[in-house]
Chains A and B, each alone.
With several copies, the nearest count.
Chain A
Amino acid sequence: MIRVQREDFDVGAELEALTKGNPRIGGVASFIGLVRDMGGSDRVTALTLEHYPGMTEKKLAEIEAEANKRWPLDASLIIHRYGRLEPGDRIVLVATASPHREAALAACHFLIDWLKTDAPFWKSEETPEGKRWVEKRAEDDAATQRWTIKS
């Protein structure tokens, strides 16, 4: 399941709902991304996430479908927020449930790596020095590349 929303989410309730009524599930892996403030001269006082409505949902659904093709998952969830967020606020939740922990852990890692490079979101930060657009990190591309199946 995927959701793109402005509102915060309840991690405990979301993870509980993911496995509810399915006693085959042995493990749930999850990742929560938070707005961070590195302090010092790089202080981030707020973050604004802009996205491409329509394409965002399409890409997240494709990434989720790919994870379900690669690993035997019983359930998966991606929630990504947009709008203005402050340090400590949740940005994203990725969760995967499987009978086997390796599948859940690998699929969760895959999903967060891929959505970093494929989901059309853009961050701008507010700092004491003004507003600035967040630049892409080369490490993110490298992380996604790891999952590329060599043909």
Chain B
Amino acid sequence: MHLLYFAWLRAKIGTAEEELALPSQVHDVKSLLDWLKTRGPNYAEALKDLGTVRVAVNQDYVGPEHRVRDGDEIAIFPPVTGG
């Protein structure tokens, strides 16, 4: 899967994108976020309040139960502030 991070989530995690193999315990957005938090203190800090985290899979907003698959483009970012 291809992961993208934006705004302060990108700044806190310290990277804009990364290519990761889908671990066996990850099957939906919720389990993906739980797994990412174990990847280091930067991930744990960035993702500690999921109320301020939005996820898009293949460029559509999705909820925590949305299924993730290898090959998906998964973007994680704070609430948008454009306009």
Contacts and interface: CB of A to CB of B under 8 A. Distances in A.
A120 B77 contact: yes
Interface string A119-150: 11111100000000111110010000000000
Interface string B29-61: 000000000000000000000000000100101
Contacts of A136: 78-81
Interface of B: 4, 6-8, 56, 59, 61, 75, 77-83
19 contacts: A50-B6, A50-B7, A55-B59, A58-B59, A80-B82, A115-B83, A116-B80, A116-B82, A119-B80, A119-B82, A119-B83, A120-B6, A120-B77, A120-B80, A122-B81, A123-B82, A133-B78, A135-B79, A136-B79
Interface of A: 33, 49-52, 54-55, 58-59, 80, 91-92, 101, 112, 115-124, 133-137, 140
